[in-house]
C-alpha cells in the first residue's frame, strides 16, 4: 500500500489536473471570459512549475514510487518543464484566436490543462499501464480540442480522423502490452526488461510480436512513417493553436514515453529494435521532407515538416548513447520554441479561423510587416537547420550521435533530406521577401500575447544557437540510464 | 609601431565591425533614408578595411611553428562538445582577409548607382555577408568555421534572390541548395574527424584525446588517421569544398548565380566566396588528410584540368559578357586547384597567389561589365562594338584587366600562372602541358571578347553617347589596377608572407618531398 508521503510527490500533477477540473466547473458557473480563463490557466501552469521545482528539489537522484509505477528523475523533470513551457506558449497563442471565433473559451483552456496533466504523468510513467492511461488522458482531451471549431467541417473531420486512428493505435499498443505482459509477467518497466531478456533468450515468440505492436503505437503517436497519415489532415483541420500544441507538446510527451519504453522497458532487446528504428527514422525523414515539397498550405507544410523532425529525433533515439540522448532532449527544447514560433506567426496572419494559410498569403510580407517576416525567417532557418539558430545545433548533435554510433547511413539520409527541406521552407521565404505583396496594407500587430510569444520564441531560438552550452548542461543532467 | 595590434582582439574587431554596422542600420535607420544608409554602410566597410590594414604590417613573416597563426584569440564556447571560439590567421588567411575587406569596399561603392530598391535590406545583407566571410578565414576551430561557412549562405541567397536579374529565383535557390548539400556532407566528415580524435567511431578506435574541434589539433593527428577513414573524410570534405570552388562537374550553379547576381554580389562571389573552397582544401583536406589526398590525387588533377579546358571552351562560346567571365572563373579556379594538388612549394605558392589574383582581376571584370550594364542594361557582346573610341578610359582599364586575366608578364596573372605551371611540371610534365593549353584558350576568349566589344566601328547608335568612367567608378577600379601591377612587378612581399604557411603545408601533406627539398638545399 503506497504511503501518503508518496502522494505528496504527485502534488504538481494533482494540482494541475484539479485546476483543469475546477476551471471546467467554475468557469461555466461564473461565466469566465476568454481572457480570465487564459489568465487562470497561465497562473495554474506557472504554479505547477513551481511545485515541480520543490518536488524535484526534495528528491535526490532517482526515485520510484507507487510500487514502481511512477518515477521521479532528471529526465521526467526536464520533460515536464518543457511540456509546461509549451503549454504556456499554447495559451498565449490561443487568446486572440478564440476571441475571433464564437466558441466557448473556458472548456478549451480546461481541456488543455487536462491534456497537459496527462502529459506530465506520461513523462513520469514507469509501468506500461500508467503510461497507457496517461497517454489516453492526453489523447481524449486532444481529440476534443482538434474538433473545437464545431461549425467547421474541416475541424470535425480532423477530430474524427484523429479519434478513429488514435483509438486504433491505442488498441494496438494495448494489445502489444498484453502480449509483453504474457511473456514477462509484469508491466513495470525495470522488471519487464529483465523478464523480456529471459523470455527472449528462451525463444518466446510473444516477445517480438509484443514489442513490435507496442512500437507501432508509439510510432503512431510521434507520427513516424508509415504511421503518419493522420498528421497532415489533423494538423490542417484543427484550430491552429491546437495544431501547435499537438505538434510540440503532444509530440514531446510521446517522445518521452518512447524513450522511456525503448531504453528502460525494452532495453534488453536493444539490438532488435535499433534496426527497426533506423528504417523508420530514414523513411520518416525521406517521406516527411519529400511530401512537404509539394504543399501549398503552410499548416500542411508544417505538418509534414513535423513528421520530418520526428525522423531526425529518432536518429538520436537510435544511437543509444549519452550524446544521442542529450541531443534528443536539446532538440526537443529547440524544436518547441521554433515550432511554437512558426505557428504563432501563422496565427497572426490568419483571419477568420482558416483564411490566410497558403503560401500566396505570405507574398510580400517583408513589405507589410518587417518584424513578422524577420521572425518567420528566423524560424524557417532554424527548421532548415542553418546556424546561428538552435535548430542547427540540435541537428548537428543528432547527426554526431549517429556518426559516433556507427549509423552513418542514417546520418547521410538525415543531412541530405535536411538539405532538401531548404527547398520548401524557403518557398515561404521566397514569398515573403522576393515577391511583391498582393495587398499593400500593413499587418497590424494587435495581439500583445501573440507578439510576445513570437518574440520570445525567436530570441530563444537564437540564444540556443549562439550559446547552447547551459542548455546542453541542462539536458546532460537529465539523462535516462542507458540500457 | 604596430605592436599594439597584438594586444587587442583585432580579428574579432575586424570581423564584427560590419555586423555592428548591420545592426545599426537595422534598428536605427529608416528604409526611406537611402542616401544615409548608403554612406553609413560604405563608411563601415571603409573603416573595416582600414582596421584590417595593420594586420599586414604587424604580421610576423618568419613566424613558424607556434607563431604560424597569429593574432590568436581563444575563448570557451560550447564546452560540452569541446568547441571553442578561436580566431587566428596565417599568411594565407591574412591575404584572403585583406582581399575580403578590400573587395568589400569596392562592392559597396559599385552598388551606389546600381541598387535603388530596398536599399536598407541590401546593405544589411551585404554587411552580414562581410562578417560571415571574414569569420570563415579567421576561424581556427572547425565548428566555428562551419558556422560561419553556413551563415554566409543566407545573405548571399537574398542578394541574388532580391536584387538579381530575371531568373533570380531559380539562381538563388540553386546556389543555396548546391552549397548546402555540399556543406552538410562536409559536416559529417568533420564529425568523423572529431570522433576519431576523441573516443573513436564505427570500427575505428579513436586516439583518446580530449574532444576538440581545434584545427591545429587535427593537423597534428593527420598522419595517424587510417587510410580508409582518410579516404571517406576526404570525399566528404571534397564535396563541400569542390562545390564551392567550383570544380568540374559541380560548377553548374556558378554561371546562374553569377549572371543573375547584382554586380556587387558577383564581385564578392567571384572574389571571395569561391576562394573559400580552395581555402578549405588548403586548410583542411591537404594537411589533415595527406593519405586521402595522395590516394585521390589523379582524380583531383584530372578534374582540375578538365575544369581549366572545359571552362575555357565554354567561356569562348558565350554571348553574354558576364557569363563569359563566370565560365572563365571555372577555368581559373581549375588552375588554382591544379597548383594545390601539385603538392609542392611552387604549386601551392602559385595557387595561393592566383587565388588573390583571380579575386582582383575577376572582381574588376565584373565591376567593368556592371558599369556598361548600368548604362545600357544589356550584357550581350553583340550589342557593343567600337567602345574604345567612345569610352577610352574604360577601354584602357578593361585592357589592363584583360591582360592580367590572361597572364601577361608585368601583371599579376603571369606570376601566379607561371608559378603554378612550374609546380605542376615538377609533379608531372603533362599536367603543365594541358594547363598551358588552358592559358592559350584563356587568351583566345578574353581577347576575342575585347576585340568584339571595343574595336571596329560603332555599329549600335545607342552606344554613341555612352559616358566614360565617372570619378566614383575610377575610384573603385584604381586600387585593383594598381594592385595588379604591384603583384606583377613586385611579387616578393606576397610570396614572403605565405612562405612559412606553404612550407608547413608541404611538410604536412608530403613529408618525403619536404625532406628531399631540405636535403637539396643543404
Residue ranges of domains in chain A: 4-476
pLDDT tens per residue, range A44-86: 999 999 999 999 888 878 888 888 889 999 899 999 999 999 9
**Element (H or E) spanning A114, and its range?**
helix A105-124
Give strand pairing partners of A127: A188
pLDDT average, residue stretch B416-421: 89
Nearest CA-CA distance, residue A426 and chain B, Å: 8
Nearest CA-CA distance, residue B202 and chain A, Å: 4
Nearest CA-CA distance, residue A247 and chain B, Å: 26
In this predicted structure, what is the pLDDT of residue A160? Answer: 92
Cβ-nearest to A473 among B80, B157, B161:
B80
Nearest CA-CA distance, residue B94 and chain A, Å: 25
- Chain B residue with CA closest to A390: the answer is B147
Answer yes or no: is pLDDT of A453 > 90. yes
CB contact under 8 Å between A392 and B162, yes or no, is no
Question: Is the sign of the CA dihedral A374, A378, A383, A388 positive or negative?
Answer: positive
Nearest CA-CA distance, residue A332 and chain B, Å: 18
Answer yes or no: is pLDDT of B15 > 80. yes
Question: Which three cell numbers mark A374?
Answer: 524577420
Q: Is A459 on the interface with B (CB under 8 A)?
A: no
Residue B132 CA to its chain's centroid (Å): 13
- A248: closest CA among A74, A348, A359, A383? A383
Contact B55, B10 (CB under 8 A): yes
Give dist(CA A332, CA A32) in Å, integer. 34
Give dist(CA A329, CA A473) in Å, integer. 11
pLDDT average, residue stretch B415-435: 88
Contact B347, B426 (CB under 8 A): yes
- B164: closest CA among A430, A369, A196? A430
Local confidence band at A272 (pLDDT 50, 70, 90 cut-offs): confident
CB-CB neighbors (< 8 A) of B136 in chain A: none
Contacts of A386 (CB under 8 A, 6+ apart): A392, B150, B151, B153, B154, B180
Answer yes or no: is pLDDT of B521 > 60. no
Share above pLDDT 70 across residues of chain B, in percent, rounded to a whole number: 98
- Worst-scoring range by mean pLDDT, A264-268, A444-448, B290-294? A444-448
Average pLDDT for chain A: 90
- Worst-scoring range by mean pLDDT, A350-359, B378-387, B479-488? A350-359
Which range among A171-175, B320-324, B417-421 has the greatest average pLDDT?
A171-175
pLDDT tens per residue, range A178-234: 999 998 888 999 889 889 888 888 888 888 899 999 999 999 999 998 888 899 999
Q: Is B23 on the interface with A (CB under 8 A)?
A: no
Question: Which three cell numbers mark B326?
Answer: 563566370
Residue A297 CA to its chain's centroid (Å): 21
pLDDT average, residue stretch A16-39: 89
CB-CB neighbors (< 8 A) of A472 in chain B: 78, 80-81
- B249: closest CA among B187, B182, B160? B182
Cβ-nearest to A434 among B146, B162, B202:
B162
pLDDT tens per residue, range B76-104: 988 888 889 999 999 899 999 999 999 99
Q: What is the pTM of this model?
A: 0.91
Q: Is A66 on the interface with B (CB under 8 A)?
A: no
Alpha helices in B245-320 (DSSP H): 253-260, 263-268, 274-280, 286-288, 290-295, 297-316
Give dist(CA B234, CA B189) in Å, integer. 8
Q: Is B80 on the interface with A (CB under 8 A)?
A: yes
In this predicted structure, what is the pLDDT of residue A243? Answer: 93
Give dist(CA A183, CA A61) in Å, integer. 31
- How far from B56 is each of B59, B103, B106, B273, B489, CA to CA, in Å? 5, 16, 19, 21, 19
Nearest CA-CA distance, residue A386 and chain B, Å: 7
Contact A414, A327 (CB under 8 A): no
pLDDT tens per residue, range B341-360: 988 888 899 999 999 999 99
pLDDT tens per residue, range B246-300: 888 888 888 888 888 888 888 888 889 899 999 999 999 988 998 888 888 889 9
pLDDT tens per residue, range A391-419: 998 999 999 999 888 888 999 999 999 98
Contact B322, B252 (CB under 8 A): no
Q: Is B169 on the interface with A (CB under 8 A)?
A: yes
- B214: closest CA among B86, B90, B94, B97? B86
Q: Is A383 on the interface with B (CB under 8 A)?
A: no
Give dist(CA B132, CA B125) in Å, integer. 10
CB-CB neighbors (< 8 A) of A415 in chain B: 184-185, 187-188
CB-CB neighbors (< 8 A) of B146 in chain A: 387
Q: Grid cell 610570396 — which residue?
A: B495
pLDDT average, residue stretch B479-485: 91
Strand, helix or coil for residue A187: coil
Contacts of B461 (CB under 8 A, 6+ apart): none
Q: Is B199 on the interface with A (CB under 8 A)?
A: yes
In this predicted structure, what is the pLDDT of residue B514? Answer: 54
Residue B156 CA to its chain's centroid (Å): 14
Local confidence band at B516 (pLDDT 50, 70, 90 cut-offs): low
Q: Is B8 on the interface with A (CB under 8 A)?
A: no
Q: Is A330 on the interface with B (CB under 8 A)?
A: no
Give dist(CA B63, CA A286) in Å, integer. 50
CB-CB neighbors (< 8 A) of A386 in chain B: 150-151, 153-154, 180
Residues 327-346 of B with CB under 8 A from A: none
Nearest CA-CA distance, residue B81 and chain A, Å: 9
In this predicted structure, what is the pLDDT of residue B112? Answer: 83
pLDDT average, residue stretch B110-118: 81
Contact A450, A96 (CB under 8 A): yes
Average pLDDT for chain B: 87
The β-bridge relationship of strands B204-205 and A63-65 is unpaired
Contact B361, B447 (CB under 8 A): no
CB contact under 8 Å between B177 and A422, yes or no, is yes
Size of chain B, expressed as the number of residues it contains: 522
- A381: closest CA among A269, A326, A458, A450? A458
Give strand pairing partners of A358: A297
Answer yes or no: is pLDDT of B519 > 80. no
Strands (E), A27-77: 63-65, 70-72
Give strand pairing partners of B200: B205
Local confidence band at B522 (pLDDT 50, 70, 90 cut-offs): very low
CB contact under 8 Å between A404 and B191, yes or no, is yes
Question: Which three cell numbers mark B429?
Answer: 610534365
Give dist(CA A475, CA A299) in Å, integer. 30
Give dist(CA A376, CA A468) in Å, integer. 21
CB contact under 8 Å between B173 and A469, yes or no, is no
CB contact under 8 Å between B147 and A430, yes or no, is no
Q: What is the ipTM of this complex?
A: 0.89
Chosen for mutation from A469, A470, A471, A473 (greatest number of chain B CBs closer than 10 Å) is A469
For the stretch A64-82, what's the b/e string if a residue is b when 16 or more beta carbons lie within 10 angstroms of its beta carbon?
A: bbbebbbbbbbbbbbbbbb
Local confidence band at A352 (pLDDT 50, 70, 90 cut-offs): low
Q: Say how many C-beta atoms besides its own lie within 10 A of residue A380's C-beta.
A: 26
Give dist(CA B351, CA B357) in Å, integer. 10
CB-CB neighbors (< 8 A) of B196 in chain A: none
CB contact under 8 Å between B188 and A411, yes or no, is yes
- A398: closest CA among A308, A276, A470? A308
Give dist(CA B109, CA B375) in Å, integer. 16
Answer yes or no: is pLDDT of B2 > 90. no
User: Whole-angstrom distance between the N-terminal and C-terminal Cα of chain A?
Assistant: 30
Strand, helix or coil for residue B84: strand
Q: Is B19 on the interface with A (CB under 8 A)?
A: no
Amino acid at each position: 500500500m503506497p504511503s501518503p508521503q508518496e502522494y505528496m510527490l504527485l502534488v504538481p500533477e494533482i494540482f494541475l489536473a484539479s485546476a483543469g477540473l475546477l476551471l471546467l466547473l467554475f468557469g461555466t458557473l461564473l461565466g469566465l471570459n476568454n481572457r480570465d480563463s487564459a489568465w487562470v490557466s497561465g497562473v495554474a501552469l506557472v504554479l505547477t512549475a513551481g511545485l515541480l521545482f520543490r518536488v524535484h528539489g526534495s528528491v535526490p537522484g532517482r526515485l520510484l514510487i507507487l510500487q514502481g509505477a511512477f518515477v521521479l528523475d532528471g529526465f521526467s523533470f526536464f520533460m515536464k518543464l518543457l511540456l509546461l513551457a509549451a503549454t504556456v506558449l499554447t495559451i498565449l497563442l490561443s487568446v486572440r484566436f478564440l476571441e475571433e471565433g464564437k466558441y466557448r473559451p473556458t472548456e478549451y483552456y480546461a481541456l488543455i490543462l487536462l491534456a497537459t496533466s496527462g502529459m506530465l504523468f506520461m513523462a513520469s510513467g514507469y509501468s506500461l499501464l500508467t503510461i497507457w492511461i496517461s497517454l489516453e488522458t492526453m489523447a481524449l482531451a486532444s481529440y476534443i480540442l482538434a474538433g473545437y471549431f464545431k461549425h467547421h467541417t474541416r475541424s470535425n473531420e480532423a477530430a474524427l480522423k484523429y479519434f478513429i486512428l488514435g483509438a486504433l493505435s491505442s488498441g494496438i499498443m494495448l494489445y502489444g502490452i498484453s502480449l509483453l505482459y504474457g511473456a514477462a509477467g509484469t508491466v513495470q518497466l525495470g522488471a519487464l526488461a529483465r523478464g523480456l531478456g529471459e523470455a527472449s533468450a528462451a525463444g518466446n515468440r510473444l516477445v517480438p510480436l509484443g514489442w513490435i505492436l507496442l512500437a507501432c503505437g508509439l510510432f503512431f503517436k510521434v507520427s513516424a512513417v508509415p504511421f503518419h497519415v493522420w498528421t497532415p489532415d489533423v494538423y490542417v483541420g484543427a484550430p491552429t493553436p491546437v495544431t501547435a500544441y499537438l505538434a510540440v507538446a503532444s509530440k514531446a510527451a510521446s517522445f518521452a514515453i518512447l524513450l522511456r519504453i525503448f531504453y528502460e522497458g525494452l532495453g534488453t532487446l536493444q539490438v532488435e529494435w535499433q534496426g527497426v528504428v533506423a528504417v523508420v527514422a530514414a523513411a520518416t525523414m525521406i517521406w516527411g521532407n519529400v511530401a512537404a515539397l509539394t504543399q501549398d498550405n503552410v499548416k500542411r507544410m508544417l505538418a509534414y515538416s513535423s513528421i520530418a523532425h520526428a525522423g531526425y529525433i529518432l536518429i538520436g533515439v537510435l544511437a543509444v548513447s549519452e550524446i544521442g540522448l542529450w541531443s534528443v532532449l536539446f532538440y526537443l527544447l529547440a524544436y518547441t520554441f521554433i515550432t511554437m514560433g512558426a505557428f504563432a506567426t501563422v496565427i497572426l496572419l490568419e483571419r477568420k479561423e482558416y483564411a490566410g494559410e497558403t503560401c500566396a498569403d505570405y507574398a510580400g510580407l517583408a513589405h507589410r510587416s518587417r518584424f513578422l517576416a524577420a521572425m518567420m525567417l528566423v524560424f524557417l532557418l532554424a527548421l532548415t537547420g542553418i546556424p546561428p539558430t538552435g535548430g542547427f545545433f540540435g541537428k548537428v548533435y543528432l547527426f554526431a550521435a549517429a556518426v559516433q554510433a556507427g549509423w552513418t547511413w542514417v546520418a547521410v539520409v538525415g543531412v541530405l533530406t535536411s538539405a532538401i527541406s531548404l527547398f520548401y521552407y524557403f518557398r515561404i521565404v521566397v514569398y515573403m521577401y522576393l515577391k511583391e505583396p498582393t495587398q499593400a496594407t500593413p499587418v497590424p500587430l494587435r495581439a500583445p500575447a501573440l507578439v510576445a510569444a513570437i518574440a520570445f520564441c525567436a530570441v530563444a531560438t537564437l540564444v540556443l544557437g549562439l550559446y547552447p552550452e547551459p542548455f546542453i548542461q541542462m539536458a546532460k543532467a537529465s539523462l535516462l540510464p542507458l540500457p | 609601431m604596430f605592436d599594439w595590434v597584438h594586444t587587442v582582439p583585432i580579428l574579432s574587431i575586424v570581423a564584427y565591425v560590419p555586423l555592428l554596422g548591420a545592426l545599426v542600420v537595422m534598428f536605427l535607420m529608416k528604409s526611406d533614408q537611402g542616401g544615409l544608409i548608403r554612406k553609413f554602410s560604405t563608411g563601415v566597410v571603409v573603416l573595416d578595411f582600414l582596421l584590417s590594414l595593420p594586420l599586414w604590417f604587424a604580421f610576423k613573416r618568419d613566424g613558424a611553428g607556434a607563431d604560424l597563426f597569429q593574432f590568436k584569440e581563444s575563448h570557451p564556447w560550447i564546452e560540452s562538445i569541446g568547441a571553442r571560439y578561436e580566431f587566428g590567421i596565417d599568411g594565407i588567411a591574412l591575404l584572403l582577409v585583406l582581399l575580403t575587406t578590400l573587395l568589400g569596399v569596392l562592392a559597396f561603392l559599385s552598388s551606389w548607382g546600381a541598387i535603388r530598391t530596398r536599399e536598407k535590406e541590401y546593405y544589411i545583407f551585404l554587411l552580414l555577408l562581410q562578417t560571415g566571410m571574414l569569420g570563415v578565414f579567421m576561424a581556427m576551430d572547425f565548428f566555428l568555421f562551419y558556422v560561419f561557412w553556413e551563415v554566409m549562405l543566407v545573405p548571399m541567397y537574398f542578394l541574388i534572390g532580391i536584387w538579381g536579374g530575371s531568373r533570380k529565383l531559380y539562381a538563388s535557390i540553386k546556389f543555396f541548395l548546391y552549397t548546402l548539400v555540399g556543406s552538410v556532407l562536409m559536416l559529417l566528415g568533420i564529425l568523423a574527424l572529431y570522433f576519431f580524435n576523441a573516443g573513436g567511431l564505427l570500427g575505428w578506435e579513436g586516439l583518446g584525446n580530449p574532444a576538440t574541434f581545434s584545427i591545429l589539433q587535427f593537423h597534428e593527428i593527420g598522419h595517424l588517421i587510417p587510410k580508409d577513414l582518410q579516404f571517406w573524410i576526404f570525399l566528404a570534405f571534397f564535396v563541400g569544398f569542390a562545390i564551392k570552388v567550383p570544380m568540374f562537374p559541380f560548377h553548374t550553379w556558378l554561371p546562374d548565380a553569377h549572371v543573375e547576381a547584382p554586380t556587387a554580389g558577383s564581385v564578392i562571389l567571384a572574389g571571395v566566396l569561391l576562394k573559400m573552397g580552395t581555402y578549405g582544401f588548403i586548410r583542411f583536406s591537404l594537411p589533415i588528410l595527406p593519405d586521402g589526398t595522395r590516394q585521390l590525387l589523379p582524380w583531383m588533377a584530372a578534374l582540375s584540368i578538365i575544369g581549366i579546358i572545359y571552362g575555357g571552351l565554354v567561356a569562348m562560346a558565350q554571348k553574354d559578357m558576364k557569363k563569359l567571365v563566370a565560365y572563365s572563373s571555372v577555368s581559373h579556379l581549375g588552375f588554382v586547384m591544379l597548383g594545390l594538388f601539385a603538392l609542392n612549394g611552387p604549386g601551392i605558392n602559385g595557387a595561393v597567389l592566383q587565388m588573390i589574383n583571380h579575386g582582383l582581376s575577376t572582381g574588376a571584370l565584373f565591376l567593368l561589365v556592371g558599369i556598361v550594364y548600368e548604362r545600357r542594361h544589356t550584357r550581350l557582346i553583340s550589342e557593343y562594338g567600337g567602345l574604345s573610341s567612345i569610352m577610352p578610359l574604360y577601354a584602357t582599364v578593361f585592357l589592363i584587366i584583360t591582360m592580367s586575366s590572361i597572364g601577361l608578364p608585368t601583371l599579376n596573372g603571369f606570376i601566379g600562372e607561371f608559378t603554378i605551371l612550374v609546380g605542376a611540371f615538377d609533379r608531372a610534365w603533362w599536367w603543365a602541358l594541358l594547363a598551358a593549353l588552358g592559358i592559350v584558350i584563356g587568351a583566345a576568349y578574353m581577347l576575342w571578347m575585347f576585340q568584339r566589344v571595343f574595336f571596329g566601328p560603332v555599329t549600335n547608335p545607342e552606344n554613341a553617347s555612352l559616358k566614360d568612367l565617372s570619378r566614383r567608378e575610377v575610384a573603385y577600379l584604381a586600387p585593383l589596377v594598381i594592385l595588379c601591377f604591384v603583384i606583377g612587378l613586385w611579387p616578393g612581399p606576397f610570396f614572403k608572407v605565405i612562405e612559412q604557411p606553404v612550407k608547413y603545408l608541404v611538410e604536412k601533406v608530403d613529408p618525403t618531398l619536404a625532406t628531399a627539398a631540405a636535403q637539396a638545399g643543404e
